[in-house]
Chains A and B, each alone.
Chain A
Amino acid sequence: EIVMTQSPATLSGSPGERATLSCRASQSVSGNLAWYQQKPGQAPRLLIYGASTRATGIPARFSGSGSGTEFTLTISSLQSEDFAVYFCQQYNNWPWTFGQGTQVEIK
């Protein structure tokens, strides 16, 4: 199965700062990569699919890039509601797999 590795495990940032989260696949997943946000006690929410397309209702400060094995989620200006855990997920090969998550916390 494809192993997804996210870095860093924890990112500390201040409101207004730019945040860059990375996700690496153990083999190419083409552009079949999604990013999800999960807040405590809530279900995950789809942010980005197709590596770079924002899901419905997702603010423009969230952007995704990459293809093949290297992907990035960028939050251009952190807002208080963005402090959460972010997961990447490949849906190119079965079984689908997730990264272990990046916790974005307030500095």
Chain B
Amino acid sequence: EVQLVQSGAEVKKPGESLRISCKGCGYSFDSYWISWVRQMPGKGLEWMGRIDPSDSYSHSSPSFQGHVTISVDKSISTAYLQWGSLKASDTAMYYCARHPRGNTAMDVWGQGTTVTVSS
């Protein structure tokens, strides 16, 4: 079965660092890009950026550039979303999703990782 399995919920304090993960199963991981999507509580979906596992090239939305880092370890079929210094406004659900290379729709989604940032 094709699936993306995300890491578990996180509770952090402002200023702390965090890395969450997304493991691809049941398909050729480096044949599809991985995107990250944020959903703040009770709100809509925001595309954050994407990465090509075959060459690790990533591309982020200007809204998130400089605040998050998207990376990948294709040897273990896993993509990552990382923060160096969390803010309370990072509290949200984060989804990873795969899509064929290029301008294509996101056809398989992870179950989501809840990140709560609170002092």
Interface residues of A (CB under 8 A from B): 1, 32, 34, 36, 38, 43-46, 49-50, 55-56, 87, 89, 91-92, 94-101
Q: Does B25 reach chain A (CB closer than 8 Å)?
A: no
Q: Mark B44-59, 1 if CB is under 8 A from A, else 0.
A: 1111000000000001
B105 touches A101 (CB 8 A): no
Structural contact, B47 and A96, CB atoms closer than 8 A: yes
Are A43 and B112 in contact, CB atoms less than 8 angstroms apart? yes
Q: Which residues of B from 76 to 103 have beta carbons under 8 Å from A?
A: 95, 97, 99, 103
Q: Is B9 an interface residue (CB 8 A)?
A: no
- Total interface residues on B, CB under 8 Å, equals 22
Nearest CB of A to B7, in Å: 14
Contacting pair B63 A95 (CB below 8 A): yes
Any A CB within 8 A of the CB of B11: no
Known: A44-B37, A95-B61, A98-B44; 18 extra A-B contacts, CB below 8 A, are A38-B45, A43-B95, A43-B111, A46-B109, A49-B104, A49-B107, A55-B107, A56-B107, A87-B44, A89-B105, A91-B105, A92-B103, A95-B47, A95-B62, A96-B47, A96-B61, A97-B47, A98-B46
